[in-house]
Structure 1
């Protein structure tokens, strides 16, 4: 993945919608991406989620209702997101978030496919047994 360069778009606005659990990010090139908190949580760049190399990703289950409680800036290149499930070790750099935005649909479909293959649920554990439907 390409690192930050002077040409990397950077966020000009970051807005968290608590009710809908959507993080809106508008970049300097005019593109705006809407990230569900669940998407950002299951694709956290932390070692705990992404592993220490390709193919070592840890499938995150039961994160449908997760939200972001705090957004902390990290220098001029990233944000750290604090989620309601206590996860807070991923640093989301501008280029990572921009790439997420460009590839969000494909990444989400891959996540749903992996969940399906694992027979896992997006619902929190306490609800998983009662709600066995999937949402697009």
Structure 2
């Protein structure tokens, strides 16, 4: 059973979603992190995840409840099809460092960049 956050704050200036659990657990999830880990089919690829890149500048434009079980996050790049369940959000909070590290490694291995104006080239010598 997942825990529900006691407070949810969209911080547009810092491009973060702040989730509070209980009196002293606060997690700040950057919009870029949430965007590249969206549970949508567009990102998750029906079981074969599609690496998202060039999202360093993405922000959150809107946060809405989706029934009693999730949040619908709308990003300023037009992506808004993922429903972030309470359980999934809690996992993102608890595993943020590990998931981000894995994502950066996947980007490097694919020769991709977080910056949309940058094209990385992988040389095979």
User: Which residue is equivalent to 2:15?
Assistant: 21
Task: Give the one of 9, 15, 19 matched to 2:3.
Answer: 9
Residue aligned with 1:51, SS = helix
Partner residue in 2 for 1:113 = 105
Distance, in Å, in 1 between the alignment partners of 2:83 and 2:40 is 7
Taking the aligned partners of 1:72 and 1:41, their CA distance within structure 2 comes to 15
Give the TM-score normalised by structure 2: 0.90
Say how many residue pairs are matched.
Answer: 121
Q: What's the TM-score, normalizing by structure 1? A: 0.83
Deviation at residue 41 of structure 1 after TM alignment: 0.1
Determine if contact 1:10/1:28 at 8 Å carries over to the other structure. Answer: no
1:9·1:29 contact (CA, 8 Å) conserved in 2? no
**Alignment partner for residue 44 of structure 1, among 34, 38, 42?**
38
Question: How far off its partner does 1:27 sit?
Answer: 2.0
CA shift, 1:30, in A, is 4.6
**Counterparts of 1:31 and 1:9, CA distance in 2:** 12
Q: Deviations over 1:19-65 (max 9, x none)?
A: 11111001247522110000000000001101212xx1100010000
Query: Which piece of structure 1 moves more, 23-32 or 100-109?
Result: 23-32
The question of 1:91 aligning with 2:74 is answered: no
3-state SS of 2:105 partner: helix
Q: CA deviation at 1:97?
A: 0.5
User: Gaps (5+ residues) in structure 1?
Assistant: 132-136
SS in 2 for 1:72: strand
Partner of 1:69: 61
